[in-house]
Amino acid sequence: MLAKINRAKSLARGGHPDLRKECGIQLRDAGERFCKEILVNDRRQKGDMVASLTDYDGKTMEWLFPKMEHLLDRDASHPGKFTVFKNTVNDACHDNSPPNSAAMTQAHGEIRFLVKEYLDR
């Protein structure tokens, strides 16, 4: 996941729409992985030692986020930060013009922050 986030950093700053679209794809993949890891960690903490990332294969952020939103509980702003991230990367991944470089850089910063806050321990 961190590799995708790091690759997306330079793409986020790219001026060309194709670069920002690729950034959105990388960040969306990282965001989905983040959701899956949060859900698996929660299940394991509750005693489900067979919980696995593969339990969530094929699930998108739209499916995953409502199930893990309540777990972003270290600050009241964290679910909102993830919502903004999700909306930005989804806009980048569809047929419309991707968000501007500032929005993509902000999305990169949000997911990097949340990964550090919830998974780097």
Q: Where are the domains of the chain?
A: 2-118
pLDDT tens digit string along 32-69? 999 999 999 999 999 999 999 999 999 999 999 999 99
Q: How far apart are CA 50 and CA 117, in angstroms?
A: 24
**Alpha helix ranges (H) inside 46-100:** 61-68, 78-93
Q: What is the mean pLDDT of residues 62-82?
A: 97
Residue type, 56: Y
Overall average pLDDT of the 95-118 stretch: 92
Instruction: For residue 7, give Cα distances in angstroms to 20, 64, 88, 90.
Output: 12, 23, 17, 18
Contact by Cβ (8 Å): 86, 61: yes
What pTM does this model have?
0.93
